[in-house]
């Protein structure tokens, strides 16, 4: 059944198609994760995190702190491939992931808006593959994006079909689409890491992955450990921020504890990046440095 036909039948038959997709498991779950070996903490910054007036100055600062990844936005990424490649040449910093930058959205009622999303994601995925990024971060629908398909089983089945299509495109470019669960204030549709992981499993494409963002997880998850562990091999990226105000880790004091989450990453032998996505209320050079030191300390304190 193609997507157009699916939508027509869904409108006519309501729940009749609810059982259309069987939850066949294509990949191993967390139990199949490799034996933990004490993975290193690989930190990454979005472009706005490091102080500096130019990308070169930011990269110099990052290298001085031992930061291993850069997470650029996806807007106009194809026009930046040579710039980013040349500026990273000779440095010990790689492109970690690409943060969104697409237009349209996958759960729009309007087929032309869904196509905008597919087309713009395809362009960003090609650039992401050329840059060696682990994936391009995607949110199926933000709260403000309307009109959206209703939050039903039929819509989930439809989303799985769309993700399969997009995942195969990503795989062709040797990268992935990384589903990001957000908190309820930003996106009620996909809020928990385990839900994103089940979409990965059901999409039946090696090009679909997921991530966890400690900021959103603070609001939505009951256990950092449980959330990350549930994603198992589908977990390809992590975002981090302080847990009270989304500023630098440590700026909110004692609530900025990531040890339980880090324990899960170690147990999974997670080999991806933990990438900063946050603001600051202090002097950036100082708060960023303090945050990096705090995270390294907590990583060493996280026991499997």
Binding site for Mg ion (CB under 5 A): 213, 239, 277
Q: 187 vs 292, which CB is nearer to Mg ion?
A: 187
Q: CB under 8 Å to 211, separation ≥6 — which residues? A: 97, 137, 178, 179, 180, 193, 196, 235, 236, 237, 238, 239
Q: 195 vs 277, which CB is nearer to Mg ion?
A: 277
The minimum distance between CB 192 and Mg ion, in angstroms, equals 14
Beta carbons within 10 angstroms of residue 100's beta carbon? 17
Distance of CA 136 to the CA centre of its chain: 7
The minimum distance between CB 241 and Mg ion, in angstroms, equals 8
Residue 114: name the closest of 249, 209, 13, 2 by CA: 2
Phi first, then psi: give them for residue 13, nearest 5 degrees.
-105, -5
The minimum distance between CB 1 and Mg ion, in angstroms, equals 34
The minimum distance between CB 148 and Mg ion, in angstroms, equals 20
Q: 134 vs 204, which CB is nearer to Mg ion?
A: 134
Sheet with 136-138: list strands edge to edge: 94-95, 69-71, 43-46, 274-276, 235-240, 208-213, 177-179, 136-138
Q: Which residue has the tokens 């930046």?
A: 80
Q: 220 vs 277, which CB is nearer to Mg ion?
A: 277
Beta carbons within 10 angstroms of residue 30's beta carbon? 17
Q: 158 vs 258, which CB is nearer to Mg ion?
A: 258
What are the tokens at 167?
Answer: 């995942």
Q: 129 vs 181, which CB is nearer to Mg ion?
A: 181
């Amino acid at each position: 059944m193609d997507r157009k036909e699916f939508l027509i039948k869904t409108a006519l038959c309501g729940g009749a198609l609810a059982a259309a997709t069987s939850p066949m498991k294509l990949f191993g779950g967390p139990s199949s994760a490799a034996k933990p070996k004490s993975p290193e903490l690989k930190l990454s910054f979005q472009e706005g995190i490091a102080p500096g007036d130019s990308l070169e100055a930011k990269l110099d600062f990052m290298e001085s702190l031992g930061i291993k990844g850069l997470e650029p936005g996806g807007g106009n990424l194809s026009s930046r491939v040579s710039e980013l490649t040349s500026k990273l040449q000779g440095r010990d910093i790689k492109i970690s992931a690409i943060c969104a930058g697409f237009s349209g959205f996958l759960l729009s009622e309007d087929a032309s808006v869904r196509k905008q999303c597919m087309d713009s994601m395809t362009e960003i995925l090609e650039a992401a593959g050329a840059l060696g990024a682990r994936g391009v971060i995607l949110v199926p629908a933000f709260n403000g994006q309307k009109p959206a398909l209703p939050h039903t089983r039929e819509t989930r089945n439809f989303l799985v079909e769309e993700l399969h299509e997009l995942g195969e495109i990503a795989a062709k470019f040797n990268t992935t689409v990384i589903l990001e669960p957000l908190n309820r204030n930003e996106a009620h549709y996909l809020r928990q890491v385990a839900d994103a992981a089940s979409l990965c499993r059901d999409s039946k494409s090696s090009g679909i992955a997921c991530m966890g963002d400690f900021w959103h997880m603070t609001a939505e998850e009951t256990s950092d450990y449980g959330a990350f562990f549930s994603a198992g091999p589908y977990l390809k990226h992590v975002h981090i921020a302080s847990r009270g105000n989304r500023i630098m880790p440590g700026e909110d004091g004692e609530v900025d504890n990531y040890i339980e989450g880090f324990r899960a990453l170690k147990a999974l032998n997670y080999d991806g990046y933990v990438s900063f996505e946050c603001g600051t209320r202090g002097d950036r050079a100082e708060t960023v440095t303090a945050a990096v030191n705090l995270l390294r300390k907590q990583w060493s304190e996280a026991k499997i």
